[in-house]
């Protein structure tokens, strides 16, 4: 089996057998309103395993429709990534502690994951009222695999 996490997605997409399959694979998350944290591609078994996380409301119908779906000659397998959800929650809670401190000037926190991007990754965006030495120190750091990015709030 070839395992691909967010670090290896670009290489894996190039190994998928057709552009049509690549496109459909990349669109699955939006079709089923779920997020993917990582994935595995097994060309020998003709299987693609997608690890999903919920956005708060669990989309059981989308998961059930996706489980076992055939795309070309490949079967989709879907697994709930509880470890990813736990880590995401921990990082959010840590960033929320910074938000409570007025020296960081954090308006809100946004967390995004792109398992199929180029490059793939996990991103925590801190939207700040104004730039401060404290929030500048957080910019481009990594907490438990999440890259922290600091942006000014638009006025």
Which phi and psi angles does 152 have, rounded to 5°?
-75, 145
Specify whether the CB–CB gap between 117 and 110 falls below 8 A.
no
Helical ranges in 33-81 per DSSP H: 60-66
Q: What are the extents of the domains in the chain?
A: 2-80, 83-152
- pLDDT tens digits, the chain, 155 residues: what are they? 334 444 444 455 455 555 565 566 667 767 777 788 888 888 889 898 888 887 655 567 778 888 998 887 889 898 999 999 999 999 999 999 999 999 999 999 999 988 877 677 999 999 999 999 999 999 999 999 999 999 999 86
Q: Which pTM was predicted?
A: 0.78
Q: How far apart are CA 149 and CA 155, in angstroms?
A: 19
């Amino acid at each position: 089996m070839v395992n691909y996490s967010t670090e290896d997605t670009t290489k894996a997409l190039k190994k998928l057998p057709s552009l049509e399959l690549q496109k459909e694979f990349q669109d699955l998350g939006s079709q089923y309103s779920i997020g993917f944290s990582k994935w595995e591609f097994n060309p020998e078994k003709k299987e693609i395993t997608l690890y999903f996380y919920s956005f708060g409301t669990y989309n059981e119908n989308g998961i059930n429709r996706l489980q076992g779906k055939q795309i070309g000659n490949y079967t989709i397998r879907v697994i709930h990534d509880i470890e990813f959800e736990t880590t995401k929650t921990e990082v959010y809670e840590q960033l929320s502690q910074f938000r409570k401190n007025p020296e960081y000037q954090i308006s809100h926190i946004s967390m995004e994951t792109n398992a199929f991007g180029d490059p793939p990754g996990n991103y925590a965006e801190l939207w700040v009222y104004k730039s401060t030495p404290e929030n500048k120190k957080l910019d481009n750091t990594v907490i438990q695999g999440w890259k922290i990015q600091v942006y000014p709030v638009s006025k």
